């Protein structure tokens, strides 16, 4: 159901939603960055200062793309707030019954707010006495209502079945939550200030990443007949590899695997041949040189390489066959920028293969059955 949401001149909702990201990210942050105290503010979390201070663990749960944003959130919250985080598939959490510390906060992450497994996981953890919160796009949805509180994404309606703008908004909200929790603990005032500055740079960086569109289309033409793809990234961009591979599977029906780049040598490298492209997410940062070494391993085995790299990285062309350049932001925020060309790549490949981009076969926008 597209309701009365207009395509606004775009050929597909998915493309429109990809292009809306600078604005949807701005909307996720609107009114939530507090310069005075160098923190984030959330109207609907409903946590007392005492509850906030006593959090011992955060559980992030969701399905599909929302589960990938949970993985990004795990890095952000553990790094910036030093609170232990567990990421759980909602469909597993509802049956797995893991032991949880008393002061555990459970966040259900969901675009639609209607995913049956996420709703059931929240209900089950709430029954056991944990505080449950929703990170959700659709206002007054079932999960928003079932939770004790939460944060809305304000991304506007997402019609394309493959989630795009909701994902970057989820990551952005998780970064603001990391700031919020961090500032009640170890993060300094200056540290908070710097993070706010970095967050404010995101819409422009995403806008810049969108200018890769034409180049990404050329890359799509080159590889649209592949039957297998590898997506490889490390640390903050390991979830980006999973998300890029999921996007390709969902709408182009090409088999793709997302893997931590270094783990590749324990299996996926056996798939590498001249017909299996490997897409590396390799922006500047802590693991850059290690990922470059992984690229060398693929190149040595004759595999074509596409790299998503920083705008000013001088060494990439020597190894990669195609280089897509994105602006640099703080490295733990980089996934919000690097995912953009991957969304575009799946879009263009799906189009070239004649697939129904907005309504891929066998998939539903929200899965309301178990
Ligand atoms: C479906 C959609 C995915 C989405 C997932 C979770 O599988 O096709 O794009 O990521 O559900 O949906 P949610 O609304 O809970 O984020």
Q: CA angle 334-93-367, nearest 5°? A: 75
Q: Which two tokens stand for residue 318?
A: 């020597």
pLDDT given at position 212: 98
Q: Which atom of ligand 1 is nearest to the CA of 162?
A: 9
Mark whether 247 is an active-site residue. no
**Distance spanning both ends of the chain, measured CA to CA:** 21
pLDDT given at position 3: 65
Q: What is the pTM of this model?
A: 0.97
Q: How many other CB atoms are found less than 10 A from the CB of residue 139?
A: 10
Rounded distance between C-alpha atoms, residue 161 and residue 21, angstroms: 16
How is 288-304 classified by DSSP, letter by letter?
HHHHHHHHHHHHHTT--
pLDDT given at position 94: 87
In angstroms, what is the span from residue 109 Cα to ligand 1's centroid?
A: 10
Q: Which two tokens stand for residue 69?
A: 């944003």
What sections of the chain are H helices per DSSP? 13-19, 21-29, 49-53, 64-81, 90-96, 116-127, 142-146, 165-183, 189-210, 213-223, 238-252, 288-300, 335-352
Which residue is it, tokens 């590396």? 280
Q: CA angle 255-257-263, nearest 5°? A: 155
Torsion of CA 161, 368, 256, 203, to 10 degrees: 50
Helix (H, G, I), strand (E, B) or coil at 277: coil
Q: Which two tokens stand for residue 284?
A: 């500047």
Q: Atom 2 (ligand 1): residue with closest C-alpha?
A: 365
Helix (H, G, I), strand (E, B) or coil at 283: coil
Q: Which residues have a Cβ under 8 Å from the Cβ of 347 and sit 6 or more positions away?
A: 12, 14, 15, 18, 251, 357
Q: Which atom of ligand 1 is nearest to the CA of 115?
A: 15
Taking CA atoms, 310 is separated from 55, 72, 145, in Å, by 36, 19, 41
Q: What share of the chain is helix, strand, coil (3-state, %, to 5)?
A: 50, 15, 35
Tell me phi and psi for residue 174, to 5 degrees: -65, -35
Q: Atom 11 (ligand 1): residue with closest C-alpha?
A: 366
CB 135 within 8 A of CB 73: no
Q: Does the beta carbon of 125 lie inside 6 Å of ligand 1? A: no
DSSP assigned state of 333 = G
Q: Does the beta carbon of 367 lie inside 6 Å of ligand 1? A: yes
In angstroms, what is the span from residue 111 Cα to ligand 1's centroid?
A: 7
Q: Which two tokens stand for residue 142?
A: 């079932």
Tens digits of pLDDT across the chain (370 residues): 566 789 999 999 999 999 999 999 999 999 999 999 999 999 999 898 888 889 999 999 999 999 999 999 999 999 999 999 999 999 999 898 899 998 999 999 999 999 999 999 999 999 999 999 999 999 999 999 999 999 999 999 999 999 999 999 999 999 999 999 999 999 999 999 999 999 999 999 999 999 999 999 999 999 999 999 999 999 999 999 999 999 999 999 999 999 999 999 999 899 999 999 999 999 999 999 999 999 999 999 999 999 999 999 999 999 999 999 999 999 999 999 999 999 999 999 999 999 999 999 889 898 888 8
Q: Atom 7 (ligand 1): residue with closest C-alpha?
A: 64
Q: Which atom of ligand 1 is nearest to the CA of 64?
A: 10
pLDDT given at position 370: 84
Specify the long-range contacts of residues 260-266, CB closer than 8 Å, at least 24 apart: 260/232, 260/233, 260/234, 261/232, 261/233, 261/234, 261/287, 261/290, 261/291, 261/294, 262/234, 262/290, 262/294, 264/230, 264/232, 264/294, 264/297, 264/298, 265/294, 265/297
In angstroms, what is the span from residue 122 Cα to ligand 1's centroid?
A: 16
């Amino acid at each position: 159901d597209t309701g009365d949401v207009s395509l606004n001149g775009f050929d597909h909702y998915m493309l429109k939603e990809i292009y809306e990201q600078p604005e949807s990210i701005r909307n996720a942050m609107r009114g939530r960055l507090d310069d005075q105290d160098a923190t984030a503010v959330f109207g609907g979390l409903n946590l007392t200062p005492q509850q906030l201070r006593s959090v011992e663990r955060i559980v992030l749960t969701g399905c599909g793309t929302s589960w990938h944003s949970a993985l990004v959130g795990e890095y952000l919250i553990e790094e910036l707030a030093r609170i232990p985080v567990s990421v759980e598939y909602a469909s597993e959490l509802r049956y797995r019954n893991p032991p949880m510390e008393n002061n555990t906060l459970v966040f259900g992450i969901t675009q639609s707010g209607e995913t049956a497994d996420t709703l059931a996981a929240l209900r089950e953890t709430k029954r056991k006495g944990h505080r449950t919160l929703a990170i959700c796009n659709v206002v007054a949805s079932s999960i928003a209502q079932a939770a004790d509180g939460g944060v809305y994404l304000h991304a506007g309606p997402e019609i394309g079945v493959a989630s795009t703008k909701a994902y970057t908004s989820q990551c952005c909200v998780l970064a603001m939550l990391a700031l919020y929790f961090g500032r009640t603990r170890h993060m300094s005032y200056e540290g908070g200030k710097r993070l706010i500055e970095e967050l404010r740079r995101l819409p422009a960086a995403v806008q810049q990443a969108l200018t890769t569109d034409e180049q990404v289309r050329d890359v799509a033409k080159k590889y649209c007949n592949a039957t297998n793809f590898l997506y490889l990234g490390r640390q903050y961009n390991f979830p980006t590899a999973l998300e890029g591979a999921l996007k390709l599977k969902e709408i182009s029906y090409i088999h793709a695997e997302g893997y931590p780049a270094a783990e590749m040598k324990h299996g996926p490298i056996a798939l590498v041949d001249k017909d299996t492209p490997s897409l590396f997410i390799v922006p500047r940062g802590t693991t850059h040189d290690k990922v470059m070494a992984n690229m060398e391993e693929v190149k040595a085995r004759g595999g074509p390489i596409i790299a998503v790299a920083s705008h000013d990285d001088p060494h990439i062309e020597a190894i990669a066959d195609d280089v897509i350049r994105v602006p640099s932001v703080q490295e733990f925020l980089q996934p919000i920028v690097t995912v953009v060309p991957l969304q575009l790549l799946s879009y263009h490949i799906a189009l070239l293969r004649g697939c129904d981009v907005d309504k891929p076969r066998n998939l539903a926008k929200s899965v309301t059955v178990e």
